[in-house]
């Protein structure tokens, strides 16, 4: 029997995501990941507006930095360069997301106000484990003069927040990769690792330039067993070059005692997960690699993005306190790595205590991951919220 009911509230079909690259790769890294997931898993027609195609190209080599419009992995990519007076109602997406409160073009907002129904407008905020975000997640913010409401959307670590970005197939892909030593070795070989390096303790290094890298390199140098430190090109360049005694170009490597440092080519984002999955310990930073390290199921140390007045220390501690996967030794090393407090530091002791806890940290990581899965994934949560806003606004209109 055919239903006579008319679907007056069809799900949103198109989405515009506006990304201003403030610095580094996290802004575009998060937006690109989310754009692909929205398209591939939810069939949404996504337009990703990005102002810096060069940074985008570093994580996605297919990007043509001269193209105004291009299509990659099913996502329409538009070079955002303050286009004025060009937006018509027909071009406005069902969902409009501004990433990190970037100001979307005024003309676009004007056109949004003329749409019927109005698009759902979200400001996607940065990730923090601080409790205050629970009170702000999904809060509405009416436009001062136009009939539009923007809502805040916060990623986070519990079900009072939007959850974390995670693709549906990620867990099965990771498990398949990690249980296939031949695939893992082939991947590492492709990055230039020798057989000896593949069998050493593998540590990936991604941090900001101020990290005390030299202190840890010294500790690894006097390890009892071989250690390989893998640093993508452009990461901790000064410390890496001092150790290498040469330019930190992809392929450069040198061994001193137990430690080999190898510079990797900067890896396309789609493969960066594999590096995290293939290493025994990962040093990550910012937001996106920090989340990916949690999905890798491997012990990690987070270098948090620095903020004025050491605000980032508050954020770091908020995470270390809620993350049930974190041991005391991991907290101590994280504090030292991020310059929290000013105690005299014995890096050998810090590292050895962390190393002794690695099996326990790996066990706890699995539990933490399952706990995070219970919150759903951020993209799915965001679409559920969007549809609830659409349903509510339709009810108001009746
Ligand atoms: O690059 P990040 O430091 O980015 C950010 C920005 O600084 C941003 O302004 C700030 O708001 C945020 O941190 C907190 O670190 P992040 O977030 O880990 O992003 C790095 C991206 O680069 C991530 O998507 C993984 C990707 N990547 C690769 O694709 N290949 C690589 O070889 C490496 C090392 C990273």
Q: What is the DSSP string of 323-348?
A: -TT--HHHHHHHHHHTT-S-----HH
| pLDDT of 2 over the 60 cut | no
User: Where would I find the beta strands (DSSP E) of the chain?
Assistant: 14-19, 45-50, 69-72, 75-79, 95-99, 120-124, 140-142, 149-153, 201-205, 227-232, 253-256, 259-264, 281-285, 300-303
Quote the CA–CA distance of 327 and 321 in Å, as a whole number.
10
52 DSSP assignment:
-
Report the pLDDT averaged over residues 311-317: 97
- pLDDT at residue 362, as a whole number: 93
- For residues 275 and 244, membership in a common domain is answered with yes
- pLDDT at residue 1, as a whole number: 36
How many domains does the structure of the chain reveal? 2
Least confidently predicted of 17-31, 137-151, 339-353? 339-353
| pLDDT of 355 over the 80 cut | yes
12 token code pair:
């949103």
- pLDDT at residue 83, as a whole number: 73
- For residues 138 and 174, membership in a common domain is answered with no
Nearest alpha carbon, ligand 1 atom 24: 29
Quote the CA–CA distance of 192 and 13 in Å, as a whole number.
43
Could you tell me the CATH number of the domain that includes residue 297?
3.40.50.2000
- For residues 111 and 232, membership in a common domain is answered with no
The answer to whether the CB of 270 is under 6 A from ligand 1 is: no
In a domain, 241, yes or no: yes
Catalytic residues: 27, 287
Report the pLDDT averaged over residues 394-398: 69
Report the pLDDT averaged over residues 370-386: 97
- For residues 324 and 295, membership in a common domain is answered with yes
SS3 229: strand
In a domain, 9, yes or no: no
Report the pLDDT averaged over residues 346-358: 97
3-state secondary structure labels for all residues of 162-176: CCECCCCCHHHHHHH
| pLDDT of 314 over the 50 cut | yes
- pLDDT at residue 52, as a whole number: 97
- pLDDT at residue 6, as a whole number: 41
| pLDDT of 331 over the 50 cut | yes
pLDDT digits (tens, 9 = 90+) for 161-214: 999 999 999 999 999 999 999 999 999 999 999 999 999 999 999 999 999 999
Nearest alpha carbon, ligand 1 atom 18: 289
Quote the CA–CA distance of 204 and 231 in Å, as a whole number.
6
Is residue 337 classed exposed, middle or buried when 0-12, 13-18 and 19+ CB atoms within 10 A define those classes? Answer: buried
- For residues 141 and 272, membership in a common domain is answered with no
The answer to whether the CB of 26 is under 6 A from ligand 1 is: yes
Quote the CA–CA distance of 356 and 170 in Å, as a whole number.
29
Percent of the chain with pLDDT over 90: 91
- pLDDT at residue 163, as a whole number: 98
- pLDDT at residue 3, as a whole number: 39
- pLDDT at residue 14, as a whole number: 97
The answer to whether the CB of 230 is under 6 A from ligand 1 is: no
Is residue 304 classed exposed, middle or buried when 0-12, 13-18 and 19+ CB atoms within 10 A define those classes? Answer: buried
Q: Which atom of ligand 1 lies closest to the CA of 28?
A: 24
- For residues 37 and 182, membership in a common domain is answered with no
Average pLDDT across the chain, whole number: 95
In a domain, 334, yes or no: yes
Report the pLDDT averaged over residues 59-77: 98
Q: Which atom of ligand 1 lies closest to the CA of 266?
A: 32
| Contacts with 59 (C-beta within 8 Å, 6 or more apart), sequence order | 25, 28, 29, 32, 266, 268, 269, 272
In a domain, 2, yes or no: no
65 token code pair:
């930095």
- pLDDT at residue 10, as a whole number: 66
Nearest alpha carbon, ligand 1 atom 19: 26
- For residues 219 and 109, membership in a common domain is answered with no
Are 178 and 151 in contact, with CB atoms under 8 Å apart?
no
Domain around 18: 14-163+376-391
Could you tell me the CATH number of the domain that includes residue 22?
3.40.50
- For residues 342 and 383, membership in a common domain is answered with no
List phi, psi (to 5°) of 351. -70, -45
| pLDDT of 7 over the 50 cut | no
- pLDDT at residue 398, as a whole number: 59
| pLDDT of 9 over the 70 cut | no
| pLDDT of 301 over the 70 cut | yes
Task: Compute, in angstroms, the gap from residue 321 CA to the centroid of ligand 1.
Answer: 23
SS3 316: helix
Max intra-chain CA distance, the chain: 76
| Contacts with 172 (C-beta within 8 Å, 6 or more apart), sequence order | none
- For residues 368 and 282, membership in a common domain is answered with yes
| pLDDT of 219 over the 90 cut | yes
SS3 360: helix
The answer to whether the CB of 155 is under 6 A from ligand 1 is: no
In a domain, 398, yes or no: no
Report the pLDDT averaged over residues 26-44: 98
- For residues 369 and 380, membership in a common domain is answered with no
Q: Return the higher-pLDDT residue of 279 and 345.
A: 279
- For residues 77 and 25, membership in a common domain is answered with yes
| Contacts with 232 (C-beta within 8 Å, 6 or more apart), sequence order | 206, 263, 264, 265, 266, 267
- pLDDT at residue 62, as a whole number: 98
């Amino acid at each position: 029997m055919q239903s006579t009911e008319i679907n007056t509230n069809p799900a949103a079909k198109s989405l515009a995501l506006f990304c201003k690259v403030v610095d580094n790769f996290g802004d575009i890294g998060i937006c690109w990941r989310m754009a692909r997931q929205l398209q591939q898993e939810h069939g949404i027609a996504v337009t990703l507006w990005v102002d810096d195609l060069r940074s985008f190209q570093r994580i996605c080599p297919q990007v043509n930095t001269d193209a105004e419009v291009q299509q990659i992995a099913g996502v329409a990519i538009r070079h955002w360069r303050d286009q004025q007076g060009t937006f018509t109602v027909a071009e406005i997406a069902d969902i409009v997301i501004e990433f990190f409160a970037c100001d979307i073009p005024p003309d676009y907002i004007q056109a949004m106000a003329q749409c019927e129904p109005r698009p759902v407008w979200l400001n996607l905020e940065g990730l923090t484990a601080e409790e205050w975000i629970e009170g702000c997640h999904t809060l509405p913010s009416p436009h001062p003069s136009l009939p539009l409401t923007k809502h805040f959307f916060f990623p986070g670590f519990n079900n009072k927040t939007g959850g974390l970005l995670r693709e549906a197939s990620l867990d099965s892909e990771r498990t398949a990769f990690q249980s296939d030593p031949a695939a893992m070795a082939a991947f590492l070989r492709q990055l230039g690792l020798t057989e000896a390096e593949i069998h050493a303790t593998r540590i990936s290094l991604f941090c900001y330039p101020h990290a005390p890298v030299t202190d840890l390199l010294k500790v690894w140098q006097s390890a009892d067993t071989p250690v390989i430190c893998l640093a993508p090109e452009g990461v901790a360049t000064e410390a890496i070059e001092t150790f290498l005694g040469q330019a930190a170009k992809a392929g450069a490597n040198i061994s001193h005692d137990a430690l080999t440092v190898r510079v990797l080519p900067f890896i396309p984002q789609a493969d960066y997960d594999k590096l995290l999955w293939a290493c025994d310990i990962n040093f990550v930073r910012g937001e996106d690699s920090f989340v990916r390290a949690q999905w890798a199921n491997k012990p990690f140390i987070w270098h948090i993005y620095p903020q004025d007045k050491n605000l980032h220390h508050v954020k770091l501690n908020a995470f270390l306190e809620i993350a049930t996967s974190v041991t005391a030794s991991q907290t101590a090393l994280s504090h030292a790595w991020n310059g929290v407090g000013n105690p005299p530091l014995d890096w050998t002791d810090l590292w050895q205590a962390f190393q002794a806890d690695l099996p326990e940290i790996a066990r706890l990581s699995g539990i933490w991951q399952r706990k995070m899965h219970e919150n759903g994934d951020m993209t799915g949560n965001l679409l559920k919220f969007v549809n609830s806003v659409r349903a509510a606004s339709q009810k108001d209109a009746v």
